[in-house]
Structure 1
Amino acid sequence: MPREVGRDMLPRDVAGERVMDNSEDDKAAVVPVIRAETEAWLQRDFEALASHWVQSPQTRRMEAFASLGVRVDEGWDVIAARLKKIVERFPDKHAFEERVRWEKVNIVVDGNVAWMTFDQIGSDTGEDRKRQLRILHRIRGDWKIGCMVMMESSVEEANSPLIEVDADVRILWTNRLARERIASQPGLVNAAGRLRARRHERDLGLRDAVRLAFRELQSQRPLNISPKQAWAVALGEDAAGVPLHCWVLL
């Protein structure tokens, strides 16, 4: 049943009484929060990082990677568990000043809600670019992150080598890192336009993984419900005895 909405129930900018509050003081208060949270992440300091988040079931963290797809974590408990796991698996620490820079910073403040969009360069490798959105709530005077959205800028700027092949393992496209590394890659080789394992005995495993991936694509199921989206292929060992692998991704 339609319900009458009075002017006092509308945001004041919708009611025509004011526009968003973009005071420089509020904007200046938002940036240090994002900076401190990013520094805590680079330093692998989970407790410091957590102090800048709204620890609520409504908190969200969303990622979109050209190489890995989309992931949405709903609720602080889920987000915290994932971040702790990443910190444990990748404990190397980095300094913000030596590694990261921001571009295209845009900040909007409206009462106790603010959002900041920016490009973050260098958080994973030297020049990887992530497009980010942070939505913050002001809680008892302190700005806290309630939602984070992070998107990889493009496949070309992915922080891992990517090679697109057809069902016959013909190379259709490569990103910059793949073009730079394929000639010296100890496990894979571009053989007359086809992707091959350098060790002949490993080539069958590579072709089988590609065949399985194309079979899954032909099922026309949405990727987010596909039972399997990645296949690991063993490529032997390098000269130092380190195991070599590649991944076949949908």
Structure 2
Amino acid sequence: MSDPLRILHRDEHLVAVHKPAGLLVHRTALARGERDFLLQRLRDRLGQRVYPVHRLDRPTSGIMLFALSPAVAARLTEAFTERRVAKRYLAVVRGIGPETERLEYPLREEDGSRPKAEMPAMEAVTEVRRLDSVELPVRVDRYPNSRYSLMEARPLTGRRHQIRRHLSQRGYPIIGDAKHGKGNHNRFFAEHLDAPRLLLAAVELALVHPMTGQPLRLQCALDATMSALLERFGWAGHLPRDAVHQALPDLEPMS
């Protein structure tokens, strides 16, 4: 894994970094042979212990927050659990997605510990909005042209693979999703558009700082793969930039 670790924000209590796609956050029993982890990279970079307070799937890129002490970790974990952290993602999907929609499909947990049929279905809510779309004169599926959209997703709950599963259930699977997506479209992007990965990125976190009580909004630029694709599709106007705001603007409501 050659992507450099990009630190977006750091103070005496917490640090925010850009997690590269394909990098595990920490050791897991499901990937025993792995030797490269975001947690260890960050520890080595800062020369101190860090504490993860939320999660990103391995193939997802984007902003991750770490506490620099157990006390701050407890407060941040509580904020995520109680849904006091606003999260924003960008995803490239197959089809022309809805302009705005609230997706409320209950989801069973996918932890691998027991059959999914035995897992209770949990409340899951994601607000989505189409930011842009494109139609390519290429037959990838059964139609002579292929259409794709850039979607904004704001998960209001924190179920595993929630955005990926919700968009897939709605009929707009994320490109590059090996489990919930469409193989022919995934292959087309990998082979012809230089995008061989899941096109889902966490680009913003908004919260109240756990120690100062001040509003904090953190933004994260896309990696080279997604940035180049958005440029190619004429979506450059939607490219986020690394930014830190100490005061939260009014968030635009999604209708």
Q: Which has the higher contact order (CA 8 A, sep 6+)?
A: 2
Structure 1 and Structure 2 fold alike (TM over 0.5): no
Hey, which of these two has a bigger chunk of helix by percent? 1
TM-score range, shorter chain: under 0.3
